Structure 1
Amino acid sequence: MKIFKTKSDLKKYLSEVKKTHKSIGFVPTMGALHEGHLSLIKHAQKKNNVTVVSVFVNPTQFDNKEDLEKYPQTLENDVKLLESINCDALFAPSVKEIYEDNITSDTFNFDGLEYQMEGKFREGHFDGVGTIVKTLFEIVEPDVAYFGKKDFQQLQIIKKMVEKHNLPVKIKGRPIFREEDGLAMSSRNTRLTKEYREAAPFIYKILKKAKKKFGIKSANDVTEWVKKQFNKHPLLELEYFTIADEETLETVDVINLSADYRGFIAVFAGDIRLIDNIRF
């Protein structure tokens, strides 16, 4: 596997790849890689001639400085995992390489997608996401980029950004990868204490029960039921639960049989924030 620290070295390598008309698959990550990431990368490898993975903890998408400081960074182990699945190239730049001396976000208009759910609780988050993903697309110039559906709102926002900025890349969402007990895989899971890790599968358990209730009960009734379940839980604190239209991400009031819906949730396990979703 080739490892690149600078934009210029990566671009030089990829320009040679493009000369042979090989397709480039791209998986952007913030590192602390787990099986969910590896499943994305393996899929990219099946569908493309060359697969590039980036590892970059992006400071502009963190609204909480402490969360940024505590975010797990395990580059040495990430390299070993990528080598074990024969990844072609890793781009692991420094913050200075990406932002030089100006660590700020661009401002984006995602047609209102950015104001739903995560946008209500994480100020500036999606401007940070848009800034880094657009920058990485301009560096790598991939044919296809792959994202997990755990961050479903992010996936829809990136699709919108590509559409509005006419970026020549296809965006593919891939299924959520879960632990055996149902907890959605996340780099943040490594920070959970034993007690919180044992409690966390409750999130997916409630999502599955809410899915069964949806269609029998109103969206508001299901939402209130979810809130009550977390109010009774001794460890987990619900930040939000909403049932939203997959396209607009707007909370549903009246069910439209021609639309697709998803239940979205954010929960605090101590000071660690976990998100998940399930298609309804």
Structure 2
Amino acid sequence: MTHLVRGRQELAAARKVLPGSVGLVPTMGALHKGHLANIRQAKARCESVVVSIFVNPMQFERADDLERYPRRLADDLAVCEAEGVDVVWAPGVPDVYPNGPAQVWVTAGELADQLEGPNRPGHFDGVLTVVSKLFARVAPDRAFFGEKDYQQLTLVRRLVADLDTDVEIIGVPTVREADGLALSSRNVFLSTEERRQALVLITALRTGRDAAGNASAVLEAAGTVLAAAEGVDVHYLELRDPQLGRAPASGPARLLVAASVGATRLIDNLAVELTG
């Protein structure tokens, strides 16, 4: 049976009796199949699993975006129960920030000013600050993050490396609908027509990947697809190395895209092998 806890002391008591290795799946709720993939990876690799559900105000620039973020705790608990999660930690803001808004926080560094950074000022500082708090409270052996938010995953890995945090970070491949659209809590905001238009993101990524050439060939192939799309405002299309540095001349790379479809901002990425 899944144990729901709210406050810090409740969490500490529940964590104390968890057997074996502990996997943490951090979420903001509104769980979908992408979250389920993370939970199932945690179940496969750890003896106990904790899912955190917390809509973190520090990572939202706009109050209206924070307010409209979907909150479905009862549904999320049912999902966790069905998946055999041991503990769900669903704290309130005072449980995570007991002294009010953080005056000391984690700064995400240079990478946070790139890709998603210009569109979401301060977002990654908020993400890394709350992740640090989750790690401190849950003390997991492993933590599981989806590859769809690839910049976030990369920064969490850097956080653990730079701050000597004893948590193994596991990236879980992006879960997609049958037509290829990456699962996201924000997909619920797409109209039927916008949902169709959004498919151009994965089409462009796959076209770039299948170009199987140098960086210029990959970007040109993907960019041509995006340029022909209707109803899609492209924010960026970039090719980077797997750590999100400059694209290599050959070998593994990551192709990333962000675009607005209607009022909804979507991101996606794919691994690419450059042939030089």
TM-score where L is the length of structure 1: 0.91
1:97-120 superposed Cα distances (whole Å, 9 cap, x missing partner) = 111352247443545322321123
**Structure 1 pair 181–156 and aligned structure 2 pair: CA distance change class (3 A):** same
Structure 2: 5+ residue runs without aligned partners? Answer: none
What residue identity is the alignment partner of 1:86?
Answer: G
Aligned 1:1-280 pairs, distance under 5 A: 1-17=2-18, 22-104=20-102, 106-110=104-108, 112-215=110-213, 218-220=214-216, 222-247=218-243, 249-252=244-247, 255-257=248-250, 259-280=251-272
Distance in 2 between residues matched to 1:141 and 1:105, nearest whole Å? 23
1:153-172 superposed Cα distances (whole Å, 9 cap, x missing partner) = 11111111111111111111
Q: Is the 8 A contact 2:203 2:225 kept in 1?
A: no
1:157-188 superposed Cα distances (whole Å, 9 cap, x missing partner) = 11111111111111110111000010001111
More divergent stretch after superposition (111-120 vs 91-100): 111-120
Distance in 1 between residues matched to 2:44 and 2:196, nearest whole Å? 35
Kindly state the Cα deviation for residue 63 of structure 1 after the two structures are TM-superposed: 2.1
Q: State percent identity of aligned pairs.
A: 37
Distance in 2 between residues matched to 1:88 and 1:136, nearest whole Å? 16
Paired residue total: 271
**Structure 1 pair 144–14 and aligned structure 2 pair: CA distance change class (3 A):** same
What residue identity is the alignment partner of 1:13?
Answer: A
Distance in 2 between residues matched to 1:105 and 1:57, nearest whole Å? 19
What residue identity is the alignment partner of 1:256?
Answer: A
Q: Is the 8 A contact 1:231 1:237 kept in 2?
A: no
The alignment yields a C-alpha RMSD, in angstroms, of 1.8
Q: Secondary structure at the match of 1:150?
A: coil
More divergent stretch after superposition (233-242 vs 110-119): 110-119
1:189-222 superposed Cα distances (whole Å, 9 cap, x missing partner) = 112111111221221011100112241xx53454
Q: Secondary structure at the match of 2:169?
A: strand
Q: Secondary structure at the match of 1:260?
A: strand
More divergent stretch after superposition (80-89 vs 130-139): 80-89
Kindly state the Cα deviation for residue 237 of structure 1 after the two structures are TM-superposed: 1.1
1:259-280 superposed Cα distances (whole Å, 9 cap, x missing partner) = 5211001110111111000001
Segments of 4+ moved more than 4 angstroms: none
Q: Secondary structure at the match of 2:55?
A: coil
TM-score where L is the length of structure 2: 0.92
What residue identity is the alignment partner of 1:246?
Answer: P
